Structure 1
Amino acid sequence: MKKHLQHIHPLAWTIIVGTMFGRLVTSMSIPFLSIYLTQVLGASPTETGITVAVSSLAGVLVSFYGGYISDRIGRRIVMLVSVFGWAGVFFGFAGAKELWVFFLVNMLNGLCRSVFEPTSRALLSDITPAENKLLVYNLRYAAVNLGVVFGPIIGLQLGSAKSTFPFMIAGIVYIAYGLVLFMQFSVHRASMPAPSTAEAPSLRAALAVTSRDRVFLPVLIGTIFCVLGYGHFSSTLAQYLAMNTHFSNGSQLFSYMLSLNAVTVLVVQYPIVRTASKFPPVVPLLLGNVCVALSLLLFGIAGGIALMMFSVVLFTVGEVLLFTMMDMLIDRIAKPEWKGTYFGTIGFNNLGNVIAPVFGGLLLDQFGAGNGPAVFVPLALTTALGLPFLLAAHKRLTAKERAEQL
C-alpha cells in the first residue's frame, strides 16, 4: 500500500485533499438548503423541490460538455475556470434573500459542479497508472466522506438551517482550492497530458459514440434510477424530518444522519470495495440499488431514531456499492481518447437528482410528513426500476468480454 501511495501524482493528491475540504464546507451548507427554504423563507415542499432540483438539471445539461471540452482544450483551463466560478456561486448563496435568487444561484451551482467534477475525475484517470486507479478513485471517495463526517455537525453549530453564513466560508475555501490548483498546474505542466491533437469530432458524433455503446447505455439508464433513490436522502428526507412533528428536532437528527452516513462510508468502504472488486463490475451496482430501495422503505415506516439510523447504514452500504465502483466501470468501458466524454456523459444520470426533490416534494404536499409509507413506498419502487437495465448491462458486458477473449 505504501509503495502505491508514493507513486500517486502530486496533482492527484491536490484533487483528493481539495475534494475533502470542498465537501467539508459544502456539506455544512448545501444539505440544509431545503430546510432553510421551507422553514425560513416559507416555501412549499414543491417550490423547494424545484429550487433544489434546478442544480441537477443544469448539471445534466452541461455535464457532457465539461468532459467533452476538456478532451479538446485540456483539463487545466476547464478546471480553473469552473472552480473559481464555483467560489462565486457560494458567495451568491450567502447574499441571497429571495427564492428566485436561490433558484438562479443553485442553477449556477449545478453548472460549475458538473463541469469541474467530470474533468477532475478524467484528469485523475490521465495521470494515474492502471494499477493505482482503484486506489486513487477510492481515496477521492474517502476524502468526500471524510469531509462530510464533520461538515453537517459544523453546519448545525453555525445555524445552517437558519442562516446563509456557512456559504461564505465555502466560497473562501474554493478560492483557496483554485489557487492551489493554479500553482500545481504551473509546477507540473510538463507532466500534464496534452489536449487531443486529432481533429475534434462534432458534439453530435461524440454523443453518438456513447449512445451506441451497448454496455454504457443501460448502465446510464439504470443509474438514473439509482441516483433518483440516492437523491431523496438530501432532499425529501431532509424536509420529511423537519416537517414531521413525531421527531422533536428534525434538523438536528438530519445532521447526525448525514454524519453517520459519512462515518459508515469510511468504515465499510475498504472491505466492501475489496469484496466487490472480485465480482463483475455491474454486480455491485445491482446490489447497491437493492440496498437503497430497501432503506427508503424503512425510512417511511421508522417510528424511532434507532430504525432511522439502521436505515442510514443500509442506505450507505448501497451508496458505497453504487459509487465507489462506478468510476472503475466507466474507465473500463471508455476508449482512452473518449474518457472525458464518457465521464461527462455519465453525468446524465443526474436526471435522477432532478426528479427526486420534485417527486418527493409533490408526495409531501399530497400526503404530508405524517404519512411516511405513502411518501416513501413510491420512492422505493421507482428506485428499483433501475434493476432490469443494470441486469441487461451485466449480461452485455459479460458477453462482450467473453467474445474479446476468444
Structure 2
Amino acid sequence: MNAHFKQIHPLSWTIIIGTIFGRTAISMSIPFLSIYLIRSMEATPAEAGIVVAVSSLIGVFSSFYGGYISDIIGREKVLYIAIFGWVLVFVGFAYANQIWMFFIMNALNGLCRATFEPTSRALLADITPKESKLLVFNLRYAAINLGVVIGPLLGLQVGASDSNRVFLIAAAVYACYGLCLLMQFWRYSELGQVNRGTEQRIGLAEALKATSSNRTFMLVLIGMTFCVLGWGHFDSTLAQYMELSPRIEEGVKWFSYLLSLNAVVVLAVQYPLVRLAARFAPALPIIAGNLFTGVSLVLFGMFDALLPLMACVVIFTIGEVLTFTAADVLIDRIAEAELRGAYFGMFGFNNLGMVLAPLIGGFLLDSLGVASSQLIFALLGLLTFCGVPFLYMAHRSLYRLERMRARQEERQFISS
C-alpha cells in the first residue's frame, strides 16, 4: 500500500486535496440554495425546483463533451476554464437579487461541473500508474464525501439559508484551488498536454446509434434514471419539505445534519458493501439499492423527529452506495471494448433523473401541500421503484448474453 501511495503524482494529490475543499465549498452553499430561494427570495417550491434542476439539465447534455474537449485542447486549459469559471459563478450567486439570475448562475454551475469532473478524472487516469488507479479514484471518492461531511455544517454556521456571503467564501476557495493548479502545472508543464489522441473519437450521433441499439444497455439506462430520480429528491424535495413543514421547527439545521450524516455513512459502509456486492451479478446490487432508496423516501414522509429521519438517511445511503458502486461495473460488462468510452459517456443521460426530481417534488409540494407529506413521499418512493422491472430485465438479458458468449467461446475452443 505504501508503494502505491508513493506512486501517486503530486498533481494527483493537488486534485484530491482540492476536491475536499471544493466539495466543502459546494456543500456549504448549493444544497441550501432551494431553502435560500424560498426564505430570502420568496420563491415558490416549483420555482426553486426549476432553479435547482437546471444545473443537472445542463450537465446531462454537456458532460458527454467535457472529457472529449480535453482530449483535443489539453486537460490544463479545460481545468482552468472550468475552475475559474466557477469562481465567477459563485460571485454571481452572491450578487444575484432576482430568481432568473439564480437560474442563469446555476445553469453555468452545471456547465462548470460537467466540464471539470470528467477532465479531472481523465487527468488522474493519465498520470497514475495502472496498479495505483483504483487507490487514486477511491481517495478521490473519499475526498468528495469528506467535503460533504464538513460543508453542510459550515454552511449552517455561516447562515447559508439566509445569507449570500457563503457564495463569496466558495468563490475564494475555488480561486485558491485554481492557483494551486496553476503552480502545479507550471512545475509539471508537460502534464497539461497529456491526451489520449490515439483513441477513437466518436461523436454524439455515432454514440447514440451504437448504444441505442443495445437492448441491455438501454434497459439499464432507463432503470438507473429512476434510481437517480429517487436519489435526487434528497437535496431538493426533502430540503424544501423540511423548510416548509410546520411540524419541523429547525428544518435547516436538521437538514445540514442529515447531509453530513449521509456522507459519514457513505465513508463507513462503502468498503464492506462493495465487497458484498462483488459477490453478485452487478444488476442485483443496483436493484437492492433502488429498493432501499424507495423505502427511505416513503419513510421520510412519515416522520418529523430528528432521530427517525436520521435512520431514514442511513437506509437511503445504503441504497446510494449499492446503486452507484455497481453501476460502472455493469456498464463495463455490457459495453463492447472498442466503444467503452461512448457507453460511459452516454450513461450520463441517467442524470435526467436529477433534472426531474426537483421538478416533480416541487410540483407535488405546490399542488398537494406539505401537510400531505406521507402521500407525496409515498408517490416519490413508488416512482423510484419503477426502475426495478427495467433493471431485472437487464439482469436477465445480460445473463443470457454472457451464457451465449461462453458457449461460443467453448465451441471455438473445441473446434481448435
State the shift of 1:117 in Å: 1.2
Q: Secondary structure at the match of 1:136?
A: helix
- Written as runs of structure 1 = structure 2, the 5 A alignment for 1:6-405 is 6-188=6-188, 190=190, 193-197=194-198, 200-330=201-331, 341-405=342-406
- Contact 1:73-1:196 within 8 A present in 2 as well: no
Q: Deviations over 1:48-95 (max 9, x none)?
A: 111111111111121112133334444333222222212211111111
Q: Distance in 2 between matches of 1:3 and 1:282?
A: 34
Q: Deviations over 1:171-229 (max 9, x none)?
A: 12112222333343444454664342567444311332333344433222221111111
Question: For the residues of structure 2 that align with 1:104 and 1:247, how far apart are their CA atoms?
Answer: 31
Deviation string 1:339-359 (CA, Å, 9 cap, x unpaired) is 554443222111111111110
SS in 1 for 2:366: helix
Larger Rg belongs to: 2
2: CA distance, partners of 1:59 / 1:389? 24
Which stretch shows the higher mean deviation, 117-126 or 43-52?
117-126
Corresponding pairs, count: 406
Cα distance, 1:133 vs. partner? 3.9
CA contact (8 A) 1:225 1:352 kept: yes
* Residues 159-182 of structure 1, C-alpha deviations (whole Å, 9 max, x = no match): 000011111111121122223333
Deviates more, 1:113-122 or 1:32-41: 113-122
Distance 1:3 1:404 in 2: 38
**2:414 is matched with which residue?**
none
> Are the structure 2 counterparts of residues 398 and 172 from structure 1 closer, same or farther at C-alpha, using a change threshold of 3 Å?
farther
CA distance in 2, matches of 1:88, 1:65: 22
How much does 1:331 deviate?
5.1
Measure how far apart 1:367 and its partner are.
1.6
Q: Which amino acid is the alignment partner of residue 140 of structure 2?
A: R
CA distance in 2, matches of 1:198, 1:260: 41
Q: Against the structure 1 CA distance between its residues 176 and 262, is the aligned structure 2 distance closer, same or farther, given a 3 Å change threshold?
A: same
Q: TM-score, normalised by structure 2?
A: 0.90
CA shift, 1:264, in A, is 1.0
The offset of 1:12, in angstroms, is: 3.2
Is the contact between residue 68 and residue 344 of structure 1 (CA under 8 Å) also seen in structure 2? no
Q: Deviations over 1:84-131 (max 9, x none)?
A: 212211111111111110011111111111121123233334444554
In the aligned structure 2, how far is the partner of 1:128 from the partner of 1:393?
A: 33
Instruction: State the shift of 1:336 in Å.
Output: 6.7
- Structure 1 stretches of 5 or more lacking a match? none
Letter aligned with residue 4 of structure 1: H
CA distance in 1, matches of 2:335, 2:90: 33
Identify the residue that residue 412 of structure 2 maps to in structure 1: none
Contact 1:14 1:181 in 2 (8 A): yes
Higher deviation after alignment, 322-331 or 259-268 = 322-331
Q: Distance in 2 between matches of 1:217 and 1:186?
A: 43
User: Helix, strand or coil: the match of 1:325?
Assistant: helix
8 Å Cα contact 2:297/2:380 also seen in 1: yes
Structure 1 range deviating more: 323-332 or 56-65: 323-332
1:273-331 deviation digits (Å, cap 9, x = unpaired): 22222322232222111111010000011142221110001111111112233344445
Q: Distance in 2 between matches of 1:385 and 1:397?
A: 20
Partners of 2:9 and 2:398 in 1: CA distance: 31
Change (3 A) 1:199 1:319: closer
- Give the AA of the match of 2:47: E
Tell me, in whole angstroms, the C-alpha distance in 1 between the residues paired with 2:216 and 2:234.
Answer: 28
Aligned CA distance change for structure 1 residues 376 and 6 (closer, same or farther; 3 Å) = same
How much has 1:401 moved relative to structure 2? 4.1
| Structure 1 residues 90 and 47: alpha-carbon distance in aligned structure 2, compared to 1, 3 A threshold | same
Once the two structures are overlaid, the 10-residue window that deviates more, 21-30 or 3-12, is: 3-12
Could you tell me how far apart the structure 2 residues matched to 1:44 and 1:111 are? 25
Q: C-alpha distance in 2, partners of 1:115/1:273?
A: 28
Work out the CA distance in 2 between the residues paired with 1:394 and 1:127. 35
Deviates more, 1:127-136 or 1:266-275: 127-136
Q: Secondary structure at the match of 2:371?
A: coil
Q: Structure 1 residue 268: deviation in Å?
A: 1.1
Give the direction of change, closer, same or farther, for the CA distance of 1:69–1:197 in structure 2 (3 Å limit): same
Range with greater deviation from structure 2 (190-199 or 274-283) = 190-199
Q: Per-residue deviation at 1:387?
A: 1.4
Deviations 1:238-277 (A, max 9, x none): 0101111111111111111111111111111111122222
